[in-house]
Amino acid sequence: MSLTPASRTLTLLFALAMTTSTRADEGHRTTNQDVTSPAPISRESGASTPSSGQDDVTSPSPVSRESGASTVSGEPSETAPSQTRRPFWRTLWSDHAAHVGLVLAAAFFDDGVTEQRGTRASPLFLSSPPSFDVSLRDRFRRGIGDYDAHGYLESHVTPVTRGIAAASILLVNGKAWRDDVDDILGLWEALRFNVATTGIVKNFVGRERPRLEFAEDDGLSPLQITRLQARESSRQSFYSFHASTAFTPLAYADLVLSRRLENHDAARRWTRSGLYTLAGYLAWARVLQDGHYATDVVTGSLAGIFIGRSFYAFNHHDGRDRWLSWDPRPRSRVTILPPVLTPDGIQVGVSVSFPTSTLPGR
């Protein structure tokens, strides 16, 4: 089976991550600094010179960056433990393995439902559209038979929204390509999970689209009605995939841009307003095209926001509690520290952490 362009891109990203050196970028560096500062070193001999009055206190010897060995008076002594860092590809795998497994499980389940069962012949619920759905359809649809997308945005929902999300990732991360890989992989997970879950819901619910529900009222011929009934997509109205696929990448991009605009509240509000307004228009266009009811669009929009924000939270453990997302990080945590042997016995400590105040708009 030939790989799609998206699959080839993902494969190249994994290959690039695994073949690169393990040196971390500034955004990924973790330093363990010793509290005790080293003693001053003589320029001539490199020996440690204790300060006056501090002869009974031993100062740590300087450590060579190249060999990790401490030197006293130019002579190498006991080797200090080197600070090792996990390879980037291994950290990436440990962070994303569970998420990728969740995405693949949803995709396999969606394929199994589609192949073995297909779409329901009769709707699971919403067999008769609510009155407000009917009134909104009659008021906002463009006209009988006008089912096509108008303009570039309505015709290219997927490339526009995913392009904005990818550009936001590259803009925010800059030269930190490891952050690019992490964010792009997280965005891919959110998009694929949205495709799978939307397909599962569509097949289980089996709601008729408004153009099929009101085909006779709109004056369609028996041949046109038969063609609509023969299409499996005519019974996949709930919920709107266009709505969920518009909000998923733009909700993810909103949180990515919030990292860059963390100290600029006004700019973050304008950016969020612009992204959600664009996604809202692309979702509501399905009502204009008579492809969905308003309840389909609203439900798909909320699902897209939830999936996009949740998968961002999965991959960014900053402890913030975001609205409309599933953040796996607990709000408070009690940690039992490792026991420490002391001359008087064993010392056991407990660390309690509480959530800090959430930044506005996050």
Max alpha carbon distance in the chain (Å)?
103
Indicate the average pLDDT of the chain: 75
Distances (CA, A) of 77 to 25, 42, 61: 31, 17, 9
Provide the pLDDT for residue 91.
77
Q: Which residues contact 303 (CB under 8 A, 6 or more apart)?
A: 194, 197, 198, 239, 243, 244, 247
Q: Which of 8-12, 312-316, 337-341 has the lowest mean pLDDT?
A: 8-12
Antiparallel, parallel or unpaired: β 333-336 and 350-353: antiparallel
**CA of residue 336 relative to chain centroid, distance:** 31
What's the pLDDT at 289? 93
What pLDDT, in 10s, does the model give residues 93-142? 877 888 888 899 999 988 888 887 788 878 888 888 899 999 999 999 99
Amino acid letter, 268? R
Instruction: Say if CB 350 and CB 336 are below 8 A apart.
Output: yes
Contact 161, 245 (CB under 8 A): yes
327: confidence class by pLDDT, cuts 50, 70, 90 = low
pLDDT of residue 55: 46
Residues 209, 235 contacting (CB under 8 angstroms): yes
DSSP conformation class of 192:
H
CA atoms within 13 A on the CB side of 9: 9
Q: Exposed, middle or buried, 240 (CB in 10 Å: 0-12/13-18/19+)?
A: buried
pLDDT given for residue 124 in this prediction: 83
In the CATH hierarchy, which top-level class contains the domain 90-315? mainly alpha
CB atoms within 10 A of CB 219: 10
pLDDT of residue 276: 97
Q: Using CB atoms within 10 A of its CB, is residue 26 exposed (0-12), middle (13-18) or buried (19+)?
A: exposed
Contact 239, 299 (CB under 8 A): yes
pLDDT digits 0-9 by tens, 139-189? 999 988 788 899 999 999 999 999 999 999 999 988 888 888 889 999 999
Burial of 24 by CB count in 10 Å (0-12 exposed, 13-18 middle, 19+ buried)?
middle
Which 3 state secondary structure label does DSSP give 249? helix
Tell me what pLDDT residue 299 has.
95
- Please give the model's pTM, rounded to 2 decimal places: 0.67
List, for residues 263-273, the tens digit of each pLDDT value. 888 999 999 99
CB 69 within 8 A of CB 63: yes
Compute CA distances 133 → 130, 271, 282, 296, 326, whole Å.
5, 31, 18, 9, 30
